[in-house]
Structure 1
Amino acid sequence: MNKKTLSERDICTQYITPAIAAAQWNTELQMREEVRLTDGRVVVRGQTGRRDKNSIRRADYVLYYKPGLPLAVVEAKDNNHSMRDGIQQALDYATMLDVPFAFSSNGDGFVFHDRTRTEGALETEIALSDFPSPEVLWQRYLAWKGIGADIAPVYAQDYHNTGKQPRYYQTTAVNRAIEAIAKGQDRVLLVMATGTGKTYTAFQIIWRFWKSHPNSRILFLADRNILVDQTKSNDFKPFGGAMTKIENRSIDKSYEIYLSLYQAVTGTEEERNIYRQFSPDFFDLVVIDECHRGSAAEDSAWRTVLDYFSGAVHLGLTATPKETEEVSNISYFGEPVYTYSLKQGIEDGFLAPYKVIRVDLDKDLGWRPQAGKLDAKGQLVEDRIYNQRDMNRTLVLTQRDEAVARRISEFLRGTDRMAKTIVFCEDIDHAARMRQALINANADLASRNPKYVMQITGDNLEGKLELDNFIDPEKPYPVIATTSRLMTTGVDAKTCKLVVLDRTINSMTEFKQIIGRGTRIDEEYDKLWFSILDFKRATELFADPAFDGEPVVIYNPSGDEPVVPPEDPPPPDQETRGQPGELPEPPTTGGERIKYVIKDVPVYVVNERVQYYGPDGRLITESLRDYTRIQIGKRFASLDDFLKTWNDADRKAAVIAELENQGILFEELAKETGKALDPFDLVCHIAFGRKPLTRRERADNVRKRDYFTRYEGTARKVLELLLDKYADAGITEVETMEVLQLQPFDALGSVSQIIKAFGGKPAYLGAIRELERGLYQQAAN
């Protein structure tokens, strides 16, 4: 057999897989083929988002010691390549999977890259028959990790089979955490962006710890009731009867897995610190979810609980490690054993990119009341200049609420009025007013269902009861939620498509949490990306290097100085009016904060700009046309270069697909022009300044030239119908033979009969190419 004639898949089937199997690998349990590591980055332009198929990363083989414990990556090439042609790709995938072994093969043998070697060549060539066994690689892997025989069984504990394959970074996070615990590290920190499955990851860590430590007890702490309830009923469900939630301030010591709010086990009075009913050595593992947050107690219950259970392993989970001059997660837990960032999640296609619309309101840029101005309460308004930071803290302009509600409603009318939307307000009073303004701005839908807009804040029982319905993709209502701080964290709103910022945000931690409300992807409900409508310039924080970089320790305690835990948040399920420490406090009278309410000052939108999440993670301010012009300029040096590529292409659809994969959205561009333009004309017009013709004009030009005089009967009728199809749907429809199965072509006969009318398939394809030459005849003019 001539290997040169075999496809890459044939090489895998006939040479690579047999070689792996011969080395005693169980091909059903220890080998996976065509392993999709990433989903492909979502590119957003205009109102459309689509995946860049070229960015999908897929390993030909991943070899496992057992499920969840990858050891090696094998990349395959056909025999027209050398053995080493796939090794760099294999090394990239091995780095992603945190494994030291990478192989490349073309069916003749293997190039073997072994990072565990401490001497000799790292990369060698081996015969097909010399592929190493699982046990050989496993022992080298353990040595590379520094895992001794005494703790190897703990590290090798089985995952729980949930029926779904964990994503590559989840596997790495779980294994890194278990490795640290097995080696005796008693404080462990995992940093994973919102929406990347921290709770699922925590479950697998706890499961493996629980199974490898008989009779162990685990405490899972969170600071929001919804976090605990979601965890218990979803990811942690396999624990079944071994699990309980601590509530009603009562303790039952017969369980092994305990879920609790900080506030359920602590209090300001000693007798309310019910965690002390457990002995200090009762728990073996304490997991702190959202560990950048603290607790409601003034005496820092976050640290107090951990100090009490100091003999247990402490595992912190967060998307936003807090590193300031006053507090530091890293100073308590140590450096993260693994970090998976928002930027990486977007690049991999697991998290949704965003489009930012910054809106400036005229009074936010500076407003001064006239002398003697009284507000709606009869208070004399202090004579000074009020700006954006004052709005809804010191000064309430009710017509500003209406302007914001009007702009939100305009956005939804232009996109999807049933798109789940969260409006972050300054405080509860602001959230209540914004709810009313949005109801009035959407009276048609609000009258149809009063839950179209709802206030979901800590003091609003009716709103809190609707929170589950808001985050349920199958429940259409509520659509718009106005909130202050209740929904900044722990709300798994996968279908949230619009995040509105009308609150001053100076805290990077809080900003990341809020942005995280929109970063989840749900393709079933057409959620690939989301928009941020920013009225407070909060998205300027995107420019801060701290937004998505590795956490940097700023706070460094010295000597015996105690480690300060992360600051305490507002009480659970409650909101605060303002955020002490972020902004100068408003003036007060007798201890009461003064807030002026003015109803007769109009507010207008004066400026607006749209920004896109760019390939390098930065926001790009440009129009869709500008982006298209730049991208086409990268691909084609000149109009002649484009015309040559277009005219030489056997299938124009291939050129179109290539440009679409670069993020060029022809459908959106055509909408902007308001004309039914072919991708060819869009490129020529936008990138090279050529006057465009509509598809109908191009089709009519072909007819005027009587281009098909040598065709008659069925063949001519088919070509005339194809011209109509081009005018209606574009060139890609013309090039596919499946179109012949559709109306009105099916009335002319079967596909084979139609092709026979042209004299066979080659003649039919030749006629299509001739048709395309006619359509684009003036391309060279």
Structure 2
Amino acid sequence: MELSETDVETKIIIPALKKAGWDIKTQIKQQTPLTDGRIVVRGNMTARGPKKFADIVLYHKANIPLACIEVKKQKFAVGKGMQQALGYLECRELLDVPFAFSTNGKSFLCHDKTLSSGKLETELTIDQFPSPQDLWAKYKAHKGIADEAADIVEQDYYDDGSGKAPRYYQSLAINKTVEAIANAQDRILLVMATGTGKTYTAFQIIWRLWKSKTKKRILFLADRNILVDQTKQQDFSPFGDKMTKIQKRMVDKSYEIYLSLYQAATGSEEEKKIFKQFSPDFFDLIIIDECHRGSASEASAWREILDHFSSATHIGLTATPKETKDVSNIAYFGDPIYTYSLKQGINDGFLAPYKVIKFDLDKDLEGFTPEEGQLDKNGNLIEQRTYNQRDFDHTLVLEQRTELVAQKVVEYLKQTNPFDKTIIFCQDIDHAERMRQAIANACPDRMFENSRYVMRITGDSPEGKAELDNFIHPEERYPVIATTSKLMTTGVDAKTCKLIVLDQRIQSMTEFKQIIGRGTRVNEEFGKRYFTIMDFKKATELFYDPKFDGIPEQIIDGETWTPTGETPDDDSTVEIEGEDIPVDDLDWEEDETGTDDGEDTGGNSGEGRTKYYVNNVAVEVVGRRIEYLDADNNLITESLEDYTRKSVMKQFASLDDFLKRWNEAEKKSAIIEELTAQGIILDALRAEIPNGESMGAFDLICHVAYGQPPLTRRERAENVKKRNYFARYEDKARAVLEGLLDKYADQGLNTLEDRRVLQLHPLNSFGSPVEIIRDVFGGKDNYAHAIIELEQEIFKQG
């Protein structure tokens, strides 16, 4: 009897592994989840592509995977699953293990990257599967882990009993870091996209090194109070009373885990530099969060901390490593030991994809030239020249432009959800305040309900900063809209932010990535699967730059790509309402002029230069387009109908090719899942096609891709009945199949392939699903065969 894939796994492979010495509870993990399935967005609809699983993963301990096994049916050759298994190891690095096995239940094909047997691939009998001790010894040799370092590597993760475990990429980052430290590497760079859990990853690294006593006193450095406080209260909370936050002018050397602002450890006067009160060898591990900031600059005061504790291991964390002629993360930390990019996060379904709505405003395209002798609303003579998008809200303000942007934001929220969390990035503090006023005027009804509907959250506003926690808290409704300049660029874990508005001229790739990162969190509980970017300043053109999702090049002889307007690092901070803010975080003018806090607050925008305010010039939208991500993470502007046609024909060159695949598929839903993964959401497509709601997936695809005249689901069902197809079945079986056909006509294909439909009326009148399959059809194989034949009859051509 031919065994299914599941039977091969449970009846042959698992017993063989146990016989070889593998523990079923701690070392063997079946159907190991690797990814969540890419989220695809079209219109306001989303769908998830298929998740990725490994059939079996073998572990030395719970935190160290050694091998993966791909299981196939007995009818296939033993190597059938090898390329799939290798995909987990190499192509996507889902598992950083040296061993991959493919099996059909008759033998194993072993792919051994350690070459311990002298061959890369070797066939083994079922009884020859290697023991845990054998694979662990080869693993250590392959990774260069000495016996004395093994205790460090073997230290378990922190486990709170909730079942939470690091995702695959977090495990890779943690294990690579711990193994590097075990091998005496002391400068390490981890690059992980915003929203992928850098702090949680850092916690697990520290936990394993701390529990193994490899590192006894650890310093975690960040540059925002909110980052330090969130870290202490959330991810680092298991350290309990072993942990403290360094305050200004306070040193207590009895703790083991220290968290600190850079600014709390440095000052302009030597005696205020708290870190000097610690001996140079006090800390043996320092984690530098957001290390693309001041710590990367040799001239930075923050760098003094690292230089003082130079004997410690330094780990830099960032989503956006910085590489300019003055600043280089790679020069200090070395090449990243592990990188997990925004593109990877979106492909895996752990990060939210985005759609972009671009606006072209007439004055942005045409420019504005004042009349000779024209005064602004404050009586200032406007310099006679043509002002363009580069100037607006920087040197000249068109107040009706601000009002138009606010109007479009409010219109979008009314069409979607007026309470979707929104961040509007403005040119400076003055612009953020004017935008707040414009939003308030555009939706007075919301402001009457709660005056905190829109708030300015900037470095100079204690009222706004006091509401930051409420803005980022998923269960707090207000504030809904935050207008800001720089303060919310980083350090804001806005899990439910669904709309990012760009009305700020952005030319720094580092800053652009940080801003986009405010929307990348996925929060299924609160319906956050994607986010929208409204772009009024052509900032999203940076998406098309090849550097967007890659690692910046390291400087070679002082030459590398450096975007115009990249803010220079500075070693100073400024105090705004009692909080030290790094100058690097503030809103620098391009000529580095402005007020003392680095942000233009209105009126004078620099010594000898006036910002003009013009309130009587109309501004209009002359162009609007929506862009979506395709399967390769490229932004596309074509309609979903055109995209579907191109994507389907790329996979199936002709209608005959598609029909062949459709008819051969055991489950038609598998084809629909493949199309979804390519960015085709059929429900969204139906909304674009006349009468699309009545079409089944088959007719929708054939009509859009190949121009075939479509039939509705109801018409296809009636054709089956006219052909008297059910006459071959006994009464009860015929009644069940007729009921399933009616369900297809009403609800579509999925009802046929989901056995839970048998629980619905009137099908449940014939018994439970188990009873129907067993008693009416004579078993699951006969039932599955009947469904396949019914589908063939439904989709019969001609």
TM-score calculated relative to the size of structure 1? 0.88
Q: C-alpha distance in 1, partners of 2:274/2:377?
A: 48
Equivalence for 1:50: 47
**Of residues 58, 67, 92 in structure 1, which corresponds to 2:87?**
92
The answer to whether the Cα contact below 8 Å between 2:766 and 2:772 also exists between their aligned partners in 1 is no
Equivalence for 1:258: 258
Deviations 1:682-726 (A, max 9, x none): 3344334456666678889999x9999999x99999999989866
Letter in 2 for 1:282: F
Letter in 2 for 1:156: E
Moved more, 565-574 or 610-619: 565-574
Could you tell me how far 1:645 is from its partner in structure 2? 6.6
Could you tell me how far 1:215 is from its partner in structure 2? 7.5
Moved more, 370-379 or 725-734: 725-734
Q: C-alpha distance in 2, partners of 1:689/1:483?
A: 49
The answer to whether the Cα contact below 8 Å between 1:506 and 1:582 also exists between their aligned partners in 2 is no
Moved more, 720-729 or 94-103: 720-729
Query: After superposition, where does 1:316-465 map in structure 2 within 5 Å?
Result: 316-365=316-365, 366-465=367-466
Could you tell me how far 1:58 is from its partner in structure 2? 1.3
In structure 2, the residue corresponding to 1:40 is in which secondary structure? coil
Change (3 A) 1:741 1:185: closer
The answer to whether the Cα contact below 8 Å between 1:331 and 1:556 also exists between their aligned partners in 2 is no
Moved more, 174-183 or 422-431: 174-183
Task: Supply the RMSD in Å over aligned alpha carbons.
Answer: 3.9
The answer to whether the Cα contact below 8 Å between 2:358 and 2:536 also exists between their aligned partners in 1 is yes
Equivalence for 1:630: 646
Identity %: 57
In structure 2, the residue corresponding to 1:255 is in which secondary structure? coil
- 1:60 equivalenced with 2:55 (yes/no): yes
- 1:74 equivalenced with 2:69 (yes/no): yes
Deviations 1:222-278 (A, max 9, x none): 001111011101110111100000124311111111101011111112222122111
Q: C-alpha distance in 1, partners of 2:783/2:150?
A: 66
The answer to whether the Cα contact below 8 Å between 1:425 and 1:501 also exists between their aligned partners in 2 is yes
Letter in 2 for 1:7: S
Equivalence for 1:540: 541
The answer to whether the Cα contact below 8 Å between 1:295 and 1:569 also exists between their aligned partners in 2 is no
Could you tell me how far 1:170 is from its partner in structure 2? 1.1
In structure 1, the residue corresponding to 2:547 is in which secondary structure? helix
Deviations 1:405-454 (A, max 9, x none): 11112222222222221111111111111122122222232322222222
The answer to whether the Cα contact below 8 Å between 2:298 and 2:327 also exists between their aligned partners in 1 is no
**Of residues 610, 618, 630 in structure 2, which corresponds to 1:614?**
630
Number of corresponding residues: 766
Q: C-alpha distance in 1, partners of 2:29/2:754?
A: 34
Equivalence for 1:561: none
Equivalence for 2:505: 504
- 1:130 equivalenced with 2:138 (yes/no): no
Letter in 2 for 1:321: P
Could you tell me how far 1:108 is from its partner in structure 2? 2.3
The answer to whether the Cα contact below 8 Å between 1:194 and 1:519 also exists between their aligned partners in 2 is yes
Letter in 1 for 2:694: L
Letter in 1 for 2:700: L
Q: C-alpha distance in 2, partners of 1:740/1:88?
A: 38
The answer to whether the Cα contact below 8 Å between 1:329 and 1:566 also exists between their aligned partners in 2 is no
Change (3 A) 1:776 1:326: same
Equivalence for 2:483: 482
The answer to whether the Cα contact below 8 Å between 1:216 and 1:284 also exists between their aligned partners in 2 is yes
Change (3 A) 1:728 1:429: farther
In structure 2, the residue corresponding to 1:547 is in which secondary structure? coil
Letter in 1 for 2:132: P
Change (3 A) 1:548 1:709: closer
Change (3 A) 1:741 1:612: same
Q: C-alpha distance in 1, partners of 2:112/2:73?
A: 23
In structure 2, the residue corresponding to 1:174 is in which secondary structure? helix
Query: After superposition, where does 1:748-759 map in structure 2 within 5 Å?
Result: none
Could you tell me how far 1:488 is from its partner in structure 2? 0.9
Change (3 A) 1:725 1:149: closer
Letter in 2 for 1:5: E
**Of residues 141, 144, 164 in structure 2, which corresponds to 1:143?**
141
The answer to whether the Cα contact below 8 Å between 2:219 and 2:257 also exists between their aligned partners in 1 is yes
In structure 2, the residue corresponding to 1:166 is in which secondary structure? coil
Equivalence for 2:249: 249
The answer to whether the Cα contact below 8 Å between 1:190 and 1:318 also exists between their aligned partners in 2 is yes
Could you tell me how far 1:127 is from its partner in structure 2? 2.6
Could you tell me how far 1:284 is from its partner in structure 2? 0.9
Q: C-alpha distance in 1, partners of 2:133/2:382?
A: 79
Could you tell me how far 1:298 is from its partner in structure 2? 12
The answer to whether the Cα contact below 8 Å between 1:398 and 1:597 also exists between their aligned partners in 2 is yes
In structure 2, the residue corresponding to 1:260 is in which secondary structure? strand
Deviations 1:193-212 (A, max 9, x none): 11111111111111122223
Moved more, 653-662 or 187-196: 653-662
The answer to whether the Cα contact below 8 Å between 2:501 and 2:534 also exists between their aligned partners in 1 is yes
The answer to whether the Cα contact below 8 Å between 1:426 and 1:504 also exists between their aligned partners in 2 is yes
Could you tell me how far 1:737 is from its partner in structure 2? 7.2
In structure 1, the residue corresponding to 2:81 is in which secondary structure? helix
In structure 1, the residue corresponding to 2:148 is in which secondary structure? coil
Moved more, 115-124 or 390-399: 115-124
Q: C-alpha distance in 2, partners of 1:250/1:698?
A: 78
In structure 1, the residue corresponding to 2:627 is in which secondary structure? strand
Equivalence for 1:24: 21
In structure 2, the residue corresponding to 1:481 is in which secondary structure? strand
In structure 1, the residue corresponding to 2:12 is in which secondary structure? helix
Moved more, 279-288 or 4-13: 4-13
Equivalence for 1:595: 611
Letter in 2 for 1:44: V
Letter in 1 for 2:318: T
Change (3 A) 1:177 1:642: closer
Could you tell me how far 1:9 is from its partner in structure 2? 2.0
The answer to whether the Cα contact below 8 Å between 1:223 and 1:294 also exists between their aligned partners in 2 is no
Q: C-alpha distance in 1, partners of 2:613/2:54?
A: 61
Letter in 2 for 1:468: D
Letter in 2 for 1:128: I
**Of residues 103, 112, 116 in structure 2, which corresponds to 1:114?**
112
Letter in 1 for 2:68: V
* Contiguous gaps of at least 5 residues in structure 1: 559-563
In structure 2, the residue corresponding to 1:110 is in which secondary structure? strand
Letter in 1 for 2:300: S
Deviations 1:166-210 (A, max 9, x none): 112111111221222222222111111111111111111111222
Q: C-alpha distance in 1, partners of 2:175/2:669?
A: 44
Q: C-alpha distance in 1, partners of 2:718/2:118?
A: 72
The answer to whether the Cα contact below 8 Å between 1:296 and 1:568 also exists between their aligned partners in 2 is no
Moved more, 502-511 or 5-14: 5-14
Q: C-alpha distance in 1, partners of 2:293/2:157?
A: 29
Equivalence for 1:682: 700
Q: C-alpha distance in 1, partners of 2:765/2:122?
A: 63
Letter in 1 for 2:247: E
Equivalence for 1:268: 268
Equivalence for 2:588: 579
Letter in 2 for 1:90: A
The answer to whether the Cα contact below 8 Å between 1:43 and 1:52 also exists between their aligned partners in 2 is yes
* Contiguous gaps of at least 5 residues in structure 2: 560-566, 575-579, 595-599
